[in-house]
Amino acid sequence: MIVFWLILFFVIRSFPFRFSSIPLWYDPWLYKSMFLAYLNLWTIRDFSALPPRIQSMYEPLLGMIGSSWLMITWWWTESILTWGFVFISFLPILGICLLARRRWTLSWYFAFFLAVFSFTQYEVFWRHYRKQLVAMFFLTIVVWWWERRKWREMMPLVTGVFLVHRPAAVFILCVGVLRGGYLFFRREYKQVIHLWWSILLALLLALPIILPFLQTLFTPLIWFFWREIDIPTLQDGFQQWWTFLTIHEYLLIWWLTLLWACWWVRKKIKPTVDGPILVLAFLFFFVRVFGQWFFFQRMIGYLDMFVLVFAGGACSILWKGQWWKKIVVISICMMQMSMMLYRTYRTYRPLIEKDEFAFLSQIGKTMPSNALVIVPGIDYSPRVQWRTQSDVLAPGLFDLNRRGLLDEAWNSKWVSRSAQEKCIWFQRDYPDLLDRPVYLWVWSKQQKTELKGACFDLLQQGKWWSRRKMNKL
């Protein structure tokens, strides 16, 4: 049965790539740019040469691994951004089963089923949150070693969390303090020393890689952590990378599974020496998500891991009861599976058409090296930047968006204005860019924007897109 669900998992996750080789969502295009930027560092060995956007958005470990992959392969394939990513998405599910199997009989079977058909885990995969998936897997293994008090074994994985996902590193530090205090009051001073010595050594191992990024990657995060979004410019810089399921959507879809998990935590967890660590992890992410504290939307994926572990335990107990309880378990599992399959069907098509994808690949070879492309849409601009390899001016993303304008501000300055006003606004706010060839890429959401006349010359027109050349007024 497990083999069947495993095969079904890979069939469902790879289903979108049977019809298209185009990656899903827009994060894969950002990761491709990041891998290529790190690849150039292997020759100059200067991290300060990275674009500021990459320095502030991406922790260094994945960039080093991805660029190393490009170096050792004699051809570049985009499979690691499409069907190859399916294998990475399986890592957190493997960690969930490991935590569930350690504690309860049969619970890991149900935890595995619920994880395979978890709406939340599919969203993490569909949005291509690569570093979050890797950090989620590391975190489950850290908790597993933590339960067994294997401090040396967990140290490399703690280092990996520090180097892959900064918000997940907050869990290590906070829960380390709470766990250390718990052991201290139990007068297990030796265990406290082992715990914190392992965390300190893990941080020291990560320090040589962290140091070049300290100012751009970690210092703003610490400031952001303490000020709680008091600075508008800092808020604008981070808000676009918070996007995920809202709390309302998560509760609407997963409320029954969450209730099962809470019931299991309340009724069945015994206060043993190592038992509270799993409950502590669940409560930490529960408070962080529903308290809407510090990057809380992306933490829903982490919370969901521990919800699935406890929900698997609840299902295992109900399954041993009367026949009607088994029917309840089967009904709920089938309902969750149906919602996830429906979501897969609704999202298996890429967000960019094949003809446009092919055209972007062609013009990337012929476009001037100093060209600038204006793309009035944050979720579309990474595709243009990846394929054309040109500088892109887009709302809330990339280094040229110096004024930190988000979609709402662009709508007020761009969509609602006439073509003449658009030209005047751009040439007034970005006069230093006028000596470069400036192109405008418009896709389906902006097709109704007024662009006729003024300084926009139509070059190519597709069904859902168009390319225009901007001339000086």
Tell me: pLDDT of 310 over 80.
yes
In this structure, the answer to whether residues 381 and 330 fall within a common structural domain is no
In this structure, the answer to whether residues 323 and 400 fall within a common structural domain is no
Of 297, 315, 347, the one marking the end of a domain is 347
Of 332, 347, 362, the one marking the end of a domain is 347
**pLDDT for position 222:** 55
Planar angle of CA 159, 163, 164, nearest 5 degrees: 115
Tell me: pLDDT of 305 over 50.
yes
pLDDT tens-place string over residues 381-390: 777 776 677 7
In this structure, the answer to whether residues 385 and 309 fall within a common structural domain is no
In this structure, the answer to whether residues 384 and 302 fall within a common structural domain is no
Residue range 123-135: mean pLDDT, rounded:
87
pTM: 0.82
In this structure, the answer to whether residues 337 and 382 fall within a common structural domain is no
Question: Which among 86-90, 230-234, 317-321, 444-448 has the top mean pLDDT?
Answer: 86-90
In this structure, the answer to whether residues 410 and 340 fall within a common structural domain is no
Of the listed ranges 111-120, 173-182, 331-340, 358-367, the one predicted with least confidence: 358-367
In this structure, the answer to whether residues 175 and 294 fall within a common structural domain is yes
In this structure, the answer to whether residues 205 and 288 fall within a common structural domain is yes
Domains identified in the chain, total number: 2
Which domain range does residue 117 map to?
2-347
Of 298, 324, 347, the one marking the end of a domain is 347
In this structure, the answer to whether residues 308 and 365 fall within a common structural domain is no
pLDDT tens-place string over residues 207-233: 877 776 666 655 555 544 444 443 333
Quickly state the pLDDT bin for 136 (edges 50, 70, 90).
Answer: very high
HEC profile of the chain: CHHHHHHHHHHHHCHHHHCCCCCCCCHHHHHHHHHHHHHHHHHHCCHHHCCHHHHHHCCHHHHHHHHHHHHHCCCCCHHHHCCHHHHHHCHHHHHHHHHHHHHCCCHHHHHHHHHHCCHHHHHHHHCCCHHHHHHHHHHHHHHHHHHHCCHHHHHHHHHHHHHHCHHHHHHHHHHHHHHHHHHHHCCCHHHHHHHHHHHHHHHHHHHHHHHHHHHHHHHHHHHHHHHCCCCHHHHHHHHHHHCCCCHHHHHHHHHHHHHHHHHHHHHHCCCCCCCHHHHHHHHHHHHHHHCCCCCCCCCHHHHHHHHHHHHHHHHHHHHCCCHHHHHHHHHHHHHHHHHHHHHHHHHCCCCCCHHHHHHHHHHHHHCCCCCEEECCCCCCHHHHHHHHCCEEEECCECCCCCCCCCHHHHHHHHHCCCHHHHHHHHHHHCHHHCCCCEEEEECHHHCCCCCCCCCEEEEEECCCCEEEEECCC
pLDDT tens-place string over residues 442-461: 765 555 566 666 677 878 77
